Structure 1
Amino acid sequence: MAKITNYVSDAFTELKENVTWPEWAEVQRLTIIVAVFSILFALITFGVDRGFEVIVARIYSTLLNS
């Protein structure tokens, strides 16, 4: 149990003393960029999925009506 406690304590010390944290303004800017690209990627994925859905539905309807 002492090893786990030491590990956690060392990890927190490492985070406090050796990690360079970005400024709050940079965090906000990067968060907005990630959110915008995530939304764009989701919309593109939705569009491609919807397009394939329409294509497959037309193929099936053509095959079943023949």
Structure 2
Amino acid sequence: MSNIRTYINDTVEEMKNKVSWPSYAELQNSSVLVLIGSLIFALVVGAMDFGFDTVLTWFYNQF
């Protein structure tokens, strides 16, 4: 049981003193970049899905 307590205490101390936390502005900038990247990725995947659906529908209707 003391090993668990030591582990938790060490973890809390490391999170307080050794971890480099981003500032609020850096966090906002990173969040905006992730949002924009996700939207671009979603649009590309959606366009590919639409294109493949269109091509395959046309192909299957030929037979």
The aligned counterpart of 1:32 is 32
Flag as ranges the 4+ runs of structure 1 deviating above 6 A.
none
User: How far apart are the structure 1 equivalents of 2:2 and 2:46?
Assistant: 50
Name the Cα RMSD after superposition. Answer: 1.1
Identity %: 33
Q: Which TM-score applies when normalising by structure 2?
A: 0.88
Q: Which TM-score applies when normalising by structure 1?
A: 0.84
Deviation at 1:5, TM superposition (A): 3.0
Total equivalences in the alignment: 63
The aligned counterpart of 1:5 is 5
User: How far apart are the structure 1 equivalents of 2:22 and 2:37?
Assistant: 21
User: How far apart are the structure 1 equivalents of 2:62 and 2:8?
Assistant: 63
Residue identity in the other structure for 2:53: E
